Structure 1
Amino acid sequence: MGRLSSVLLKGFGALVLVAIVLSVVGTIVGIALSVIAAVLSLILTLAVLSVIALAAVGLLSLFGSDSSAGSGADTPAENRPDPEDRVRSRYVDGDLDDEAFERELERVLDAEDRSTRPGVDGSRTGSPAGERDRLRDR
């Protein structure tokens, strides 16, 4: 019986050793898979958050107070500043010098149909300098 017990003991030891090696390998593989899953989860989370952030920025730019969004057609005619007033305010703000003011004023006055504006007779008898002085005095 001595020999049989020795063989059984060696076989049992080999099985225990195989079980320990397999459990260590399984643990290492499990840790590696957990790290891979965590990295993939992080990448997916960042991708989803970036899509949400881009959607939020898009919605804010779409519904935000963009100056080009509500210009022109949405503004009633009585709320829009008169072109002469705009030129005069640019001159007062210092954006235009005297010559540029005269050029802009002539351009605005030539572009307007003076006969359709109430209170104006449609004839331009004054000089551009006279118009400039008239607008300055307003």
Structure 2
Amino acid sequence: MGRLSSVLLKGLGVLLLAIVVLSVVGTIVGIALSVIAAVLSLVLTLAVLSVVVLAAVGLLSLFGSDSSTGSGSDTPAENRPGPEERVRSRYVDGDLDDEAFERELERVLDTEDRSTRPGVDGSRTRDPASERERLRDR
């Protein structure tokens, strides 16, 4: 009977050791799964929050742009540079040489209808050469 009890005792010890090992492995797997679940929950929460913020910004810009577009389209013509000023600034910047400046300025002065521009007296005609000199001297 001594041998049978020692075999049973050893079997019981192995069974107890297997249960302890399995519970440790189960605990480690449970912790790993809970960390993964927490990370996925955080990512999902951030994604939903970013969609809500983007929707709010989109709605604000949509409703806010209605009032700002009305004022932007009413820019006075004095603030926009005319064709003469654009040619002159290109000449000053070095984009045009003397000959190209002369050609562009003559083209602008020939195609421009002075009577339709606000603030310009249409009855007075200017000599294109004097106009060129005036623009060049600026």
TM-score range, shorter chain: 0.5 to 0.7
- Can you list the C-alpha shifts for 1:74-107, whole angstroms capped at 9, x where unaligned? 5221221222122223223322211111122122
Give the aligned partner of residue 93 of structure 2: 93
Cα root mean square deviation, aligned: 4.1
Number of residue pairs aligned between Structure 1 and Structure 2:
119
Gaps of 5+ in 2: 62-68
SS in 2 for 1:108: helix
- The answer to whether the Cα contact below 8 Å between 2:83 and 2:108 also exists between their aligned partners in 1 is yes
Which of residues 100, 120, 123 is equivalent to 1:121?
123
State the identity %. 75
Query: 2:115 and 2:124 mapped to 1: Cα distance?
Result: 4
Give the aligned partner of residue 77 of structure 2: 77
| Aligned pairs (5 A) from 1:1-138 | 6=6, 9-10=9-10, 12-30=12-30, 32-33=32-33, 36-37=36-37, 40=40, 44=43, 48=47, 73-117=73-117, 118-121=120-123, 123=125, 126=127, 128-138=128-138
- The answer to whether the Cα contact below 8 Å between 1:115 and 1:122 also exists between their aligned partners in 2 is no
Gaps of 5+ in 1: 63-68
Q: 1:10/1:134 Cα in 2 relative to 1: closer, same or farther (>3 Å)?
A: closer
Query: 1:92 and 1:111 mapped to 2: Cα distance?
Result: 22
Q: Which has the higher helix share?
A: 2
